[in-house]
Amino acid sequence: MARQAVAADDNARGVYDQVLVDITKYVYHYDVQSPRAWTCAKLALLDALGCALETLTESEEARALIGPVVPGTTVPNGFRLPGTPYQLDILKGSFDLGSLIRYLDHNDAYPGAEWGHPSDNIGAILAVADWLSRTARASGQAPLTVEKVLLGLIKAYEIQGCFQIRNAFNQVGLDHTLLVKIASTAVVSWLLDLTENQAMDALSQAWMDSAPLRVFRQSPNTGPRKGWAAGDACMRAVHLAWLTQKGQPGASTVLTTPRWGFYATLFNGREFQLPRPFGSWVIESVFFKIHAVEGHGASAVEAAVEVGEKLMESGLSVEKDITHIHVRTQQAAMIIINKQGPLHNAADRDHCMQYMIAVVLMKGSMIESADYQDKSPWAKDPRVEALRKKIDLVEDPQFTADYHDKKKRSASSGLTVTLYDGTKMDEVLCEYPVGHPWREETTSSVKGKLKKNIEGWYGKGEKAQNILKLEPLREEDFRKMQVCDFVDRFAGE
């Protein structure tokens, strides 16, 4: 029986679906007590902005999408887009930042029945918080602090991640950025001081929107939209919260209404399953992407680096001596990044495990964001294409079970190379790639990635060093920073 609940404040319009109530109560009332949650939130925020700068450095395609719709427009007290001179309205600002963070598929991720990227929400949260902060300062009021951004971040991560664990939107053909829109709508409503009823109305609008089809993430239609889909979700979340603030009502039973509701029309009549009450688990357990690979391929490319080293030590050639590479992996990798045939663009290449493995072996080193781009020498290298054809992927049911097991939570892949003389090399297995919360070196690796991304865009001068000073800053001092001062550190000239 679908659950409904009376709205949370005295001006209740009626009965709201329980999911809307639960999300809103969490965002408006949950007190984050976990010190680890705050520490992880700081690292996640900095990592995401580093990813945005990396996109500016590497992707001409993404650079073409950002900036004001009307060239030359500067919005008073608008959001200052990191890495650029642009000062934007919050709709375009949230689209641009969300897209820059996500475009190269290098921002953090969270697994489950649905794989997604909770840092996608930062596009909406930071754009709105910066605008509010600048507007407050201009009117002589106290600007928002970074603490409020981090609190919103923790809660957006939790909402998105908890939905991902047991609800597979991909199984009904919907794109997971629906969850970015849901989480961002809830947090932006809170930032804008909407009432709890208004927040539920805004959330109902987000569910009414549903999600784009997932077709642009899957072969043969994989394309660059997957890079800006999160930015689009951020922009829509901000717009829906704004419309609600201006008096637009929602649909209180958007999920449960027979025939017309979300469950009946788009979710095969099933209700959502949430594994636990909302808290701060997701931000404390998020997977940071150290290497520029789709998350389900992280273990495979790490194993491929070791395979390459073993080949070199044995005096063997990748081109001449390998006849076959057998890959054991999880079900999610089989669905998302198992591709043969032509790869048409960077978005296609970065979602192909065979391409990732082949490039790593041909390079003799880890794959990087630039290796997926059209201008990369690997993109059209016939040796890469020949090696791709020698690689086959199969699901190992135990790997899939371990991936979903909350006590195991591995992301395993194993590579076995067969040589032309029939010799099979020992399998190289990676269960927990670097970036996994259980890998000891993950935090130091994220810091190294941040430094590389900042210096990649700004060089090693004063601007870069001023940004890098944020990472070792005491958490108490970091949280007290005014949002506009924080964002100004990243702004370009």
Partnered with residue 391 across adjacent β-strands are: 325
Q: What is the pLDDT of residue 7?
A: 44
Give the pLDDT confidence of 331-353 residue by residue, as tens digits: 989 988 999 899 999 989 999 99
Which domains are delineated in the chain?
Answer: 4-285 (1.10.4100.10), 295-430 (3.30.1330.120)
Residue 77 pLDDT more than 70? Answer: yes
User: Rounded CA gap, 387 and 383, in Å?
Assistant: 6
Average pLDDT for residues 218-228, to the nearest whole number?
91
How many whole angstroms separate alpha carbon 60 and alpha carbon 79?
22
pLDDT, mean of residues 64-93: 97
DSSP, collapsed to helix, strand or coil, labels residue 394 as strand
Output the pLDDT for position 148: 98
Give the pLDDT of residue 115.
85
pLDDT-based confidence at residue 260 (cuts at 50, 70, 90):
very high
One-letter identity of residue 193? D
Higher pLDDT, 355 or 2: 355
What was the pLDDT predicted at 426?
95
CA–CA gap between residue 201 and residue 203 (Å, rounded): 5
| pLDDT at residue 231 tops 80 | yes
Chain segment 292-328, per-residue pLDDT in tens: 898 899 999 999 999 999 999 999 999 999 999 999 9
| Whole-number pLDDT of residue 46 | 98
pLDDT score of 10: 37
CA distance 470 to 273: 38
Q: What is the pLDDT of residue 14?
A: 62
Query: How would you label 269-281 residue by residue, b for 16+ Cβ within 10 Å and e otherwise?
Result: eebeebeeebbbb
Cβ–Cβ under 8 Å, residues 159 and 137: no
Residue 4 has pLDDT above 60, yes or no: no
pLDDT of the residue at 3: 54
- 4 against 274, higher pLDDT: 274
Which of the two residues, 409 and 14, has the higher pLDDT score?
409
Q: How confident is the model at residue 230 (pLDDT cuts 50, 70, 90)?
A: very high
| CA 476-482-483 angle, 5° bins | 110
Return the structure tokens found at 234: 């951020």
Quick one: pLDDT at residue 98? 98
- Residue 292: the pLDDT is 87
110: DSSP letter? B
Cα separation of the two ends of the chain: 56
Secondary structure (3-state) at 492: coil
Neighbours of 136 (CB within 10 A): 17
The pLDDT value recorded for residue 295 is: 86
In whole angstroms, give the CA distance from residue 438 to residue 430.
Answer: 13
**Residue range 9-48, pLDDT digits in tens:** 433 456 999 999 999 999 999 999 999 999 999 999 999 9
Residues 368-386, mean pLDDT to the nearest whole number: 94
pLDDT confidence of residue 405: 87
pLDDT value at position 2? 55
Percent of the chain exceeding pLDDT 70 equals 97
